[in-house]
Amino acid sequence: MSVLLTQTEGALPVIAHWGPRIHASDHDLVEYAGTGARTGMNVLSDVPYEAGILPEHSHGWGGLPGIRVHRGGSAWSPRLDVVSVAVDGETLAEGGGVQRESALVIIDANDEWAGIRVTLEIDLSDSGLLGTRVTLRNDGDNREHLDVVGVDPALRVPNDAREILDFSGRWGTEKIPQRHPVVFGSHTRESRRGRTGLDATTVIAIGTPGFDAGAGRVWLCHVGIGGNHQHAVERSDGYLAFRGGELLLPGEVRLASGESYVSPWVYGSFGVGLDAAAARYHGFLRERSRSSRRPRPVTLNVWEAVYFDQDFDTLSELATRAASLGVERYVLDDGWFLGRADDTAGLGDWIPDPVAWPDGLAPLAEHVRSLGMEFGLWVEPEMINEDSDLARAHPDWILQARPELPPRFRNQQVLDLTNPEAFAHILRVLDGLVTDHSVTYLKWDHNRDLIDAGHPATGASAVHDQTLAVYDLIDQLRQLHPELEIESCASGGGRVDLGILERTDRVHTSDNHDPLDRSRMLRWTGLLVPPEMLGSHVASAVSSVTGRTSDLHTRCAIAFLGHFGIEWDIRELNDAEAVILSQWISSYQEHRQLISTGRVVNDGDFDPDAPTLRGVVAADCSEAIYTIVTPPLSPDSRRRIRLPGLLAEARYRIESGRPGSLGPSWLSPLAGPVSRSRLRRRRAVLLREPSPGGGSGPADIPPGPGARIEACPHRRLTAEQGFC
C-alpha cells in the first residue's frame, strides 16, 4: 500500500492517494502533485477549497473544521500557514519529493494573528498503519486563554468506498455489527462514557460495496483514546473522509500562553479485505506489546468459581486443581479486600479483608507459586464505594459536577485521580500489593461510566484530565514493575482501544463466556486486537449470562484462538472432563506460538446460512488452525468450506476434531477417523490450461498440469479446494 501526501503554497497537506501501492519516481510524484487536486487557495481566490488533513473553515470548508478553538468568542476561525515540512527529521525543500517504506512526517504551521501554533504528525508504521495527531499550542503573548473545542483530523478515502461497517452493543453483548451505505453528510458515533464503552463502535470500516474478510478495498479506522471520543464518516461534494478525535466537554481544555493540547492518535489501515486491514493493527500492537515477548500463560480466573465467597481453603483447592490441569497463571478476582462481601462496599480500601483472609494473601500467593503458577490479582483503582474507609476519610476525592454526588452505578463512584494526593495514594497502594505478594498480573477493571464527572472543587468537566491521569498511573506503575502484565477489563469489553492497549497486555473481551456469543465478539474485537491479546476463557457448561448449555469441546474450541484460560469452578470436574480440559490446555500450549504470531483469517461473516470460519495462518503459510462454527439454523445440510490464507502451490494435511480424539465416527471423513470399509479410496484430476504462475489465496488455481486429492483416513488437498 502507499500513502501520497501533497503540500503546496503554505497550505496544510492533502492525502492525494491512500490505497494500493504506487510505483513511481520522486519526480513523477511531484509532477502528479502539481497536476492533481488543488490543495489550497489564495484568500482572494474563488477556486473551490480542497480540504486537507485539518480542514479549515477560513478557506471555505463547509464541513467540520479540523481545529475548533476560540478566545472568549473571537479567533474562532484559524487560518494556518505551513512553516516547515520534515520527513524523518530532515527538512523537505519546496518542490521536492521523497519516498519512504515507513516514515514520520512533521508539519509545523501557525496563525500569527490568532496566536496559534500547530504541529501535525503523520506516521506510517512498519506494519503499514497510518496515524496522525495534532499538538495545538497557545502562542499568544499574555492574551486570553485559548479554549479548545475539538481537534478532528481527516483521513481522506476514495469516493468509491460507499459502504460502512460499524458496531454497537451492551453489557454481555458487545460488538454487534451493522452495515449501511455512506450517505451525504456525517455519520457520527460518539461515546460520552469516559471509557471506550460497551456500545462503542471501536473501529469503523469504509469500503467498496460488498467488502468482506477477504475481498473489496477497505479502510479500517480507529481513535486511540479510552476517554470521550467520536468516530465519523463525512461525505460532501466529491469528498469522503474518516474523521475522529477526543470529544471534549465544555471548558475541559483551556490553554494559557505557552500551554499545549495533544490530540489522541487517529489511525487508519488500508487492505484488500477486512483481514488485510486488521493485520496492520495486529502488526502495530505486536511490535509494541509485551504480549509478544513470551508465550501466553494459560490463566485461571476465579470469579465465576467463587464470586465474593472467598477463603483460603477454597481458593487453595482451586489452585491445586488448576496446576494439575496445566494452568500457568492464577488470578484472584473481586472480593479479597476490606469489607468486600458484595459490591456495595470496599472499593478504595485495597488491603486484604481480615475476615476472609485472617493471615492476609501471602499464604495463598505462596501456595500458588509453589505449584509453579504465577499469581495475579483483580483491582479497580479508578473507583470508590461510598461505603469505604477511603471515602469516609476523603469525600473530596470523588468526582462530581454538582454539590450532590453523581448517580451510583454498581454502587460505586469515580475516584479523582487528577488530585495529586489521591493519585499518589493509589500508586503507593498498587506498588505495595505488587511488591508484597510478587504479583505478576493485574486484572484492572473499570465498571462505571464517567457520568457527571467533574472536579470536586469547581465542578468543571474532568473526563479529559482523568483519562490522562489513568494513563500516567499505569505508566508509573509499570516503570516501577517493568515485568508486570495488565489486563484491561471494563464491565467486560468496555475499554478496548489503542490508548489503553499501548499500556496493557490484553483485554477482557466480554463478561459473557457463552461460546456462540464469544465467537462473534472475538471475531469483531479482533479487527483491532490480535488473538494473543484477547482474553478467551472456558466457563461452565451453563452460561451465567445467557443460560445456554454448551459441551466442553465447543467451549474449548471457541476459546482456543485467543489468550486461552478458564473461568469456572473446576472442582466440579469429573475425571473424564478433567482429561478433556487438560488435553485442550496441552494443545493450546503446543500451538500458542502460532496463535501469537500468525495472520488472522476469516470467512462467512455476512451470510446467515453459512458457517463462520476464524483461523490463524503461519507467516510462511506452512501451517494453520481454524475454528468453524455452523449456523444454528440453515437450509443447507452440507456446505463446502474454504480455508483462506493457504498457498495455492502447496499441499496440506487436514487434522480435524478434538485433542486426543478426532471426533465421533458419524462426522464427515475430514472431521474424524473413518473406517476403510465405509470409505473407498478416491482420486480426482483437475484439468485446466497451464498457468503462468502460482497464487496465494483460496481462489487461486495451483500450478502444474493438475491436482490429485486423496482421502483416507486423512485428506491432502490444495488450497483452492474446499471440504464439506
Cα–Cα distances in angstroms (integers) from residue 44 to residues 59, 60, 75, 110, 322, in the given order: 10, 11, 20, 20, 74
Strands 254-255 and 485-488, how do they pair? unpaired
Instruction: Return d(Cα 227, Cα 98) in angstroms, integer.
Output: 36
Among 10, 255, 260, smallest CA distance to 146 is for 255
Catalytically annotated residues: 445, 511
DSSP state of 341: S
DSSP state of 699: T
Q: What is the 3-state secondary structure (H, E, C) of 525-574?
A: HCCCCCHHHEEEEECCCECCCCCCECCHHHHHHHHHCCEEEECCCHHHCC
Cβ-based neighbour number of residue 589 at 10 Å: 16
- In 215-348, the DSSP E strands lie at 217-223, 229-236, 239-246, 254-255, 260-262, 266-272, 299-301, 329-332
ω into 158 cis (within 30 of 0): no
All three cell numbers of 376: 495475579
240 within 8 A of 233, measured Cβ to Cβ = yes
Amino acid identity of residue 295, one-letter, is P
176 within 8 A of 169, measured Cβ to Cβ = yes
Diameter over CA atoms, the chain: 92
Q: What are phi and psi of 615, to 5 degrees?
A: -150, 170
All three cell numbers of 598: 500468525
Q: How far is CA 555 from the centre of its chain?
A: 23
488 within 8 A of 504, measured Cβ to Cβ = yes
All three cell numbers of 691: 498457468
Cβ-based neighbour number of residue 98 at 10 Å: 15
Among 592, 612, 648, smallest CA distance to 516 is for 612
